[in-house]
Structure formats: structure tokens, C-alpha cells
Structure 1
């Protein structure tokens, strides 16, 4: 009886972990995509960098969770009978998915960090140009 309850609870946990993207997440992803396309300022790129770094951390945590679960299935596969192999395969697939998503988010964060640095350089150069122009106008009485 305890095994059945344990298996039922574990199945529900897996089902929740494997759920498809919710409509809220889909809208959020669309909003992030739009924000990335319309980012113009350094602060825009800094915010996107933070978002993608946080998302990467979250994906790494989920991957670690799946890694522990996979180890459990490999060590205690006999508890799950015929379903053990399916559970292992499913967990391994989720692990790969989360690791790939984490890597993708890390790359996006690096890209936006680079864009923010380039924007900062452009802003600094533009500011320096205004200072030089103002100095020239002040020393050149017409």
C-alpha cells in the first residue's frame, strides 16, 4: 500500500514537472521576445541580461532536480517495475531539455551583456563629443 501511495505521489510530481508551457508562460515568453527585439538602451539590455541569467539559474536547478531523480530511478528501478525504464528515459529527456535551455539562456545573457557594453561605449563617445563641441563653442567667440 505504501508503495502505491509513493508511486502515485511520484507520478503526480512528474506530471507537474513535465507539464506543457502554460498560457501565462507563453505570453511572458512572447513579451520577452518583443522586449529583446525592441531593446535600444543600455538599461534595456541590462534588464534582459538579468532575465536570461535568472532563467538559466532556474533551468540549472530543474536539471539538477532531474539528475537526482534519474539517479534514484537507476538505483531503485526495481521499485517501479515495468515502468522503470520509461521513467528513466523520460527523466533523461527532461534533463537534456533543461540543460539545453540553460545553455541557450546563458548565451542570450552574454549577447545582451555585450550589447549593453557596446551601448555604454557609444553613449560615452556621444557624451564626450558634446563636451568637446561645447568647449570649442565656449573658447571661440564669434
Structure 2
């Protein structure tokens, strides 16, 4: 993932709008698969952190706030992973459909 999220999102949206070939959609699918994996890794890191918070009683009154924030981040990362996974699957489906349509078109030209 890039340094500037807004620029990356704009670039991704532009790539989606301009995707017309199977290769374009395969590249987008890979991008979203990578993003899904990254979000899942972040969720797992936060789960490990949450386990530490649960075991440690050093945080006193802040313990509840830390746990709540961490659980919210876990949900956010898991939802982002699922969303990116769905987006990846969608682009894979589009790439395969375009490839199939292209093969059918080329086959029709040979008659």
C-alpha cells in the first residue's frame, strides 16, 4: 500500500474506470487480494495485542478503552479484508468473462 492513501485510492479508482482487458482486471484482482491480506495481517496483529491487554492488568482504568479501541480496529480491518476480497473476486470474474468472450469472438471469426 502506498504512503498517501487518498492518492492511492484515486489511482485505484482510475484503474478501475479504465480497466477493459483481462490483464487490467487480473492486475486489479491482485491489488485487492494483496490489500485483503494486508488488512487480515493487521487484524491478526491487533488480536495478539488484545490478548496481551486481556492478560495484563497494568493499564488500570485505561484497560477498557484500549480493549474497546482494539476490538473496533479488529472489526474495521476484518471488514476491509472482506471488502477487498469481494472486490478481488469481482475483478477475477470480469477478467475470466472477458477472456472467454474474446476466445468466443476469435472462434467465430474463423468460420
TM-score (norm 2): 0.94
SS at the partner of 2:110? helix
User: In structure 1, what is the Cα distance between the partners aligned to 2:74 and 2:4?
Assistant: 23
User: In structure 2, what is the Cα distance between the partners aligned to 1:107 and 1:23?
Assistant: 24
SS at the partner of 1:80? coil
* 2:46 corresponds to: 66
Unaligned runs of 5+ in 2: none
Report the RMSD for the aligned CA atoms in angstroms: 1.3
User: In structure 1, what is the Cα distance between the partners aligned to 2:80 and 2:3?
Assistant: 19
Deviation at 1:129, TM superposition (A): 1.7
User: In structure 2, what is the Cα distance between the partners aligned to 1:28 and 1:52?
Assistant: 12
User: In structure 2, what is the Cα distance between the partners aligned to 1:36 and 1:109?
Assistant: 11
User: In structure 1, what is the Cα distance between the partners aligned to 2:16 and 2:49?
Assistant: 34
Moved over 4 A (4+): none
Unaligned runs of 5+ in 1: 1-21, 133-142
Q: Deviations over 1:49-78 (max 9, x none)?
A: 0000000000000000000001111111x1
How many pairs align?
Answer: 110
1:97 aligns with 2:76: yes
Larger RCO: Structure 1 or Structure 2 (Cα < 8 Å, ≥ 6 residues apart)?
2
Which structure: larger Rg? Answer: 1
User: In structure 2, what is the Cα distance between the partners aligned to 1:131 and 1:75?
Assistant: 69
CA shift in 2, pair 1:118/1:53, >3 Å: same
TM-score (norm 1): 0.74
Please identify which structure carries the higher helix content.
1
User: In structure 2, what is the Cα distance between the partners aligned to 1:45 and 1:23?
Assistant: 23
